[in-house]
Amino acid sequence: MYIAMVASECAPVAKVGGLADVIHGLSRELQRRGEAVEVFLPMYDCMSYDRIEGLEQCWADLWVPYYSDGIFCDVFRGRVDGINACFIKPRSRENFFDRGAYYGQEDDPARFAFYSRAALEFMYKSGRRPDVIHCHDWQTGLVPVALFEIYQALGMERTRVCYTLHNVHHQGITGPHILHQSGLGMHLMSPEKLGDNEHPGAVNLMKGGIVYSNFVTTVSPSYADEIRWTPLGHGLQSTLNTHAAKFGGVLNGVDYGTWNPEIDPQLPYHYTPADLAGKFRDQQALRQRLWLQNRFKPVVAVVSRLDAQKGIHLISHALFFALANRAQFVLLGSASDASIDAHFRALKARFNDHPDCHLELGYDEELSHLIYAGADMLVIPSAFEPCGLTQIIAMKYGTVPVVRATGGLADTVFDANYSDKPFEQRTGFTFNDFDEAGLESALGRAIGLWYDYPRYFSQLMRNSMHQDYSWKQPADHYLNIYRHILS
């Protein structure tokens, strides 16, 4: 099967969050099963070019319609961690992907609508006829729309589309000009098609993806329910319910070739569930690197984008609660919002010389590995979480997750005390209420167990490490979906 993965991120070359890990991990697993996978990405100026092997131009002067005119693009080809990838580079004064940032531009809908159209135009002109196009999030919502409205009649009638919603908080809601820009008719503004459910006169790119795709998934079963039946659907509930017969949740996996303490090249010491000595040495290395005192205290960590979704006030509260309860606290986070960034910079300045606390503000892949290995607990107090990868990574590294039971967090972390799962499947601590008391109830139990029942705590660590959240099972699910829509 030839699968074209059309997305706006792919680790390690262009990563903002979990979407990048998913494109990388799922593509690698599908390729390992013998499927032909090709990843499509915009050619951002800020990508990690050193992570692309054999980058070379493979197509020149691809003419992509844009309003009543067009924009020439060049297409480059290379390999990202063994995966074939195509990069689309428009040549125009809009400089869509030469902005020094992936997202956060005023014209994001125009940038990614153009990319969606260009990816299809390239497939069409280069004779590529994917069996399945798997596209992701609002940035590529126009792919199935343009495929079935334009390219099907031009000879791409056999291609089917699977569309995955990674976060419906961002839907690509924009003006009707986007249809004109993309060569699509204004009749698509109708409420059954791309017309936004809550903003009359606006176009919703994610809704277009849902309506036009042959199958739609989201990244955990709980989130699939939440976005159909609760305000977490942000206006898409009725659309998802109309299309419920082709919608389901598939839990993400993580790539254990990248995230595995037995082989992780970014770690000073390796370890296994049977022998955790390396983890304690990694903890010392972490303390040394972050100027923390070497004391008999648990290390409570956060690795996160610092965004309102992630529970900013509860992350801050975890810091104060950890320090007040004989724990150390480490944070690695990056904020795109200026006020959130200022908040954490102030906290960093305040705790700069504290021997039990370190805040590292920015994006640091290598340090994230050392934190997953060196911490005892990872706190994830999200307001909502479609899947969440950090708790899954933490578990593989024997770091006990302390999470709010929402979305994928509820599907992957089972409470040490209250879960109805057998003991060997209990992996962490959960809480329900999105407030300080809720967080304290879970983090307090975790720190208490660490001090008072260390054998029980280390059994939880081992339980976590034994869970299998590799891409094996999710890849089976996706292959079944691909076969289903092709049949």
DSSP per-residue string spanning 128-186: ---SEEEEETGGGTHHHHHIIIIIGGGT--S-EEEEEES-TT---EE-THHHHHTT--G
* Residue among 172, 388, 398, 407 that touches ligand ADP (CB under 6 A): 388
* Residue among 363, 435, 477, 479 that touches ligand ADP (CB under 6 A): 363
- Pairing between β-strand 203-204 and β-strand 173-174 as defined by DSSP bridges: antiparallel
Residue among 156 and 392 whose Cβ is closer to ligand ADP:
392
* Residue among 217, 220, 283, 390 that touches ligand ADP (CB under 6 A): 390
Pair 335, 307: CB distance under 8 Å: yes
Burial class (CB in 10 A: 0-12, 13-18, 19+), 153: exposed
User: For the stretch 225-239, what's the b/e string if a residue is b when 16 or more beta carbons lie within 10 angstroms of its beta carbon?
Assistant: ebbbeeebbbbbbeb
Rule CB under 6 A: which of 20-59 touch ligand ADP?
A: 21
Pick the piece of the chain touching ligand ADP (CB under 6 A) from 17-25, 40-48, 71-79, 119-127: 17-25
Task: Assign 388 to helix, strand or coil.
Answer: coil
Residue among 211 and 409 whose Cβ is closer to ligand ADP:
409
Both tokens of 288, joined, read: 């040394």
Minimum Å gap between C-beta 301 and ligand ADP is 11
> How many residues in the shown chain lie near ligand ADP by CB under 6 A?
18
Side-chain half-sphere CA neighbours of 50 within 13 A: 0
Quick check: 304 binds ligand ADP (CB under 6 A)? yes
* Residue among 74, 131, 225, 364 that touches ligand ADP (CB under 6 A): 364
Q: Which amino acid is at 387?
A: C
Both tokens of 109, joined, read: 């809908």
Q: Which residue lies nearest ligand ADP, judged by its C-beta?
A: 18
Minimum Å gap between C-beta 228 and ligand ADP is 20
Residue among 151 and 329 whose Cβ is closer to ligand ADP:
329
Quick check: 305 binds ligand ADP (CB under 6 A)? yes
Quick check: 341 binds ligand ADP (CB under 6 A)? no
**Residue 234 to residue 248: CA distance in whole angstroms:** 18
Residue among 304 and 430 whose Cβ is closer to ligand ADP:
304
Pick the piece of the chain touching ligand ADP (CB under 6 A) from 171-179, 337-345, 361-369, 396-404: 361-369
Quick check: 333 binds ligand ADP (CB under 6 A)? yes
User: For the stretch 273-284, what's the b/e string if a residue is b when 16 or more beta carbons lie within 10 angstroms of its beta carbon?
Assistant: beebebbebbbe
Binding site for ligand ADP (CB under 6 A): 17-19, 21, 303-305, 332-334, 363-365, 368, 387-390
